Amino acid sequence: MRILHVVETLEVGGLERVVVALSAEQVRRGDTVTIACLFHEGPLAGDARAAGVEVISCDKRPGADGGALRRLRYALRSRSPQVLHTHNPTAHYYGVFAALGLRGMRRISTRHGMGSFRASRRRERLYRLSMIATDSAVAVCQAARERFVTRGVMPRGRSEVVVNGVDLARFAARDPARRDALVRDLGLGDTASLFGSVGRLNEAKDPSNLVDAFARTVAAHPRAALVIVGDGELRAAVEARVRGHGIGDRVRLLGTRADVPALLASFDAFVLASGTEGYSLALVEAAAAALPAVATDVGGNREIVSDGRTGLIVPPADPAALAAAMIALAGDPERREALGTAARRWALTHGSLGAMADAYGRLCRGEATDPAPEAAARGSAPRVDDGGVAS
């Protein structure tokens, strides 16, 4: 099958990593795959090409850009994809408008978030207009699907849920030896509980909530430490907040790293303090590494973290509640072990890249996705099974 994905860029981020991983898996299954970057490529383009995926750029300028539209239309006409799969609103309406009049092509749109963080009215109007020529509108969690359908963004009859998956082979369960080595390398000294967080340092991820909560945590557990992986526009503000709390000796900001699976295997617990999320790839990866997670109750987080069974769910923008959960895990290594074991069991059953690719494969063929996500919507949290790896 010939598939053309449209993204804004291939900068380092959760959406972009999902698209590259999905494209690579589609190539492995025998499909011919192109990723068209609406703006510019970004560092993940190299990973895509290494997996046999063609990457092109439409070089879109800010604002409406007819040149980018023409370049995207040329890519569609010259490659004749059977499936046009776009990711997020701008990529979708550019893709749909570029494909006007071109036949024999299924059009799939995936929204990778909740659509609620400073959404542009113009962008959303164009996205809704483009739904007229869309075969399947995909949300990455049930919470997002219900929001989009209720607000008239997606037509219920053409809406689907496909949750994000990861390459489980890349993630080993947490390892005490790796943990001790990381503590030594980072100069953290005597550390009894090592919390980790992975994500961009931007407003959506609310890193100030994380730092404020950890300041309370380390006051109760002086041997706790926090490692933050990721970069972004709020890095300087986060560093200043760490200094303001006087906890610089217990916090390490590592920036963007290529060895996230190894780092996850070195943590004792994972923390996601986001103010908004779709279906968090970081939480799925943490579960695959057998980490208990403390996560805010936003987006699809509750569909990944089963409160009290694989981790703890707390309200967003509430550092006191986040700290209370972190303190509870810091002081209870046996509970961390039990929650982490259950989290990995969940990931092996529900979090695979293969399961995600299977679902998108059905959509590409014009079939419905697996009905299992519909059943999940009737509960507040995922069921933890003892099954094997999904594929």
How confident is the model over 131-179, as pLDDT tens digits?
A: 999 999 999 999 999 999 999 999 999 999 999 999 999 999 999 999 9
Please give the Cα distance from 317 to 274 (Å, whole number).
8
Given a contact cutoff of 8 angstroms between Cβ atoms, the answer to whether 117 and 200 are in contact is: no
pTM of the model: 0.84
Which pLDDT does position 371 carry in this prediction? 47
Please give the Cα distance from 17 to 1 (Å, whole number).
22
- Which amino acid, residue 125? R
Residue 116 pLDDT class (50, 70, 90 cuts):
low
Please give the Cα distance from 266 to 261 (Å, whole number).
9
How confident is the model over 29-70, as pLDDT tens digits?
A: 999 999 999 999 999 999 999 999 999 999 999 999 999 999
How confident is the model over 281-290, as pLDDT tens digits?
A: 999 999 999 9
Which pLDDT does position 377 carry in this prediction? 36
How many Å is the Cα radius of gyration of the chain?
A: 21
Which pLDDT does position 119 carry in this prediction? 62
- Which amino acid, residue 352? S
- Three-state DSSP state, 266: coil
Please give the Cα distance from 281 to 277 (Å, whole number).
10
How confident is the model over 296-339, as pLDDT tens digits?
A: 999 999 999 999 999 999 999 999 999 999 999 999 999 999 99
- Three-state DSSP state, 228: strand
Given a contact cutoff of 8 angstroms between Cβ atoms, the answer to whether 10 and 43 are in contact is: yes
Tokens of 186: 């980072």
Q: Pairing state of beta strands 136-139 and 106-111?
A: parallel
Please give the Cα distance from 42 to 55 (Å, whole number).
10
Residues 6 or more apart in contact with residue 119 via CB below 8 angstroms: none
Tokens of 6: 């449209």
Locus of tokens 């900068």: 11
Please give the Cα distance from 298 to 273 (Å, whole number).
10
DSSP states along 141-180: SHHHHHHHHHTTSS-GGGEEE----B-GGG-PPP-HHHHH
How confident is the model over 332-355, as pLDDT tens digits?
A: 999 999 999 999 999 999 999 999
Residue among 34, 338, 321, 254 nearest 313 (CA): 321
User: Above 90 in pLDDT, residue 120?
Assistant: no
Given a contact cutoff of 8 angstroms between Cβ atoms, the answer to whether 100 and 79 are in contact is: no
